[in-house]
Amino acid sequence: MKKTVFVGISGGVDSSVSAALLKQATPNNFSKLFGRPTPKGFSGYNVVGVFIKTWHPDFIECNEADERLDAIRVCAHLNIPFLSFDFESEYKKSVADYMISQYRAGRTPNPDVMCNKEIKFGVFLNKALSMGADYVATGHYARVAQISEKGPTLKMPQGRSLGRNLCKGIDPSKDQSYFLWTLNQNQLSRILFPIGHLKKTQVRKLAEKFGLSVAEKKDSQGVCFLGDIDLKDFLKHYIKSKKGIVIDEKGQTIGEHDGALFLTLGERHGFVVNKKSPNDGPYYVVAKDVKKNIITVSQVGKRTDLKDAPRSVLGETVFVLGNVNWIPEAPRENKKYTAQIRYHSEFLPCRIFYKGPTFVEGVFEKSVLVASGQSIVIYDGDTVLGGGVVK
């Protein structure tokens, strides 16, 4: 009996190809299409396309109607049912309001993590299952693998049956596993990532092969509900700007900014340095005092001189993660793993130490600027162990 899959179709090429691959799948071609063994008893999928309506502020021009029309065209071309789910209020509360409140508190949140947790694999997954779906699928560049399959072999925690790994997408330039660290075993058992084993160039070629109207459509960029608007311009509609001073690592005033709340550690824009020589390199934010509305900046290449940089000491950086979630198992203390502190950033060697049931302490082997509110995701090779939010 065929399993039913609700595919989140955004109107872009990745989700559209995902739906096409699922529609094409048969017992004879499954392995070729998805790069893994055919599941026992597989007989094909009943595919349903779903467009998810989210929230957009009134002051930003929204192209959601055009995206929905593209999604409808794709579903019509594939001859699959089309549904629209309205999650505008849930999105406003769980993603947009969360992001604004975190910036107002001087933290650096990741709204895409919350969108995946609360919307795509929260209310969307729950509604799909309530309507009889066996799975939901999205166009994420990530993979779900049985722990017994080829790859890192992990011992499951006591009392938990053999489960699933969340793994990086094959294309390192598109891998989106960083945004998915909040997933759990129950969710992974109901999620499909049809293009995680493909490179973007292959996805484009498949879109052409399937005759999809979105084959040459450009990828969307940035935070999903902002469009082309700058994040700081968006936040200024909700958080009052207030001019403050920029100081160097010696405490000397060298410039000004429009509000420490709008800036994050490591940022190189959003402030003006007036006192600099022609030989100075770019400056970046290394500390901020939200109460005093002061930011500290330094030139690139001088990180190891920043003895007072937050959470940093010469040679290593200590960070504390709260709200931790471990997908297959918790990391082992003092074993070397790698971690990302932001999407598509460097994979940094690190070690993990436990400080309580809901938070851990981590140590990077080199000096790294880590901001409160950021998501740090821990990897064991290609496997996502989980992650947490920097306290």
Active-site residue, selected from the candidate residues 62, 75, 167, 224 = 224
SS3 91: helix
H-assigned helices in the chain:
13-24, 30-34, 64-78, 88-91, 97-104, 111-114, 124-130, 185-188, 200-209, 231-235
Show Cβ contacts of residue 16 under 8 Å, excluding neighbours closer than 6 positions: 9, 71, 74, 139, 207, 212, 214
Tell me the β-bridge partners of 167: 143, 383
Question: Residue 5: enclosing H or E segment and its boundaries?
Answer: strand 3-8
C-alpha–C-alpha distance, residues 283 and 298, integer Å: 5
Closest CA to 241 of 293, 178, 202, 282: 293
Show Cβ contacts of residue 93 under 8 Å, excluding neighbours closer than 6 positions: none
| Tokens describing residue 260 | 């420490």
Active-site residue, selected from the candidate residues 75, 115, 167, 350 = 115
Residue in this structure with the two tokens 């990745």, named with its chain if needed: 14
Angle between helices 13-24 and 200-209 (to 10 degrees): 60
Most distant CA atoms of the chain, gap in Å: 72
Residue 62 falls in the annotated catalytic set:
no
C-alpha–C-alpha distance, residues 178 and 142, integer Å: 9
Residue 317: C-alpha distances to residues 3, 320, 352, 363, 371 (Å)? 47, 10, 12, 6, 12
- 3-class secondary structure per residue, 226-237: CCCCCHHHHHCC
Residue 115 falls in the annotated catalytic set:
yes
Q: Which residues are catalytic?
A: 115, 224
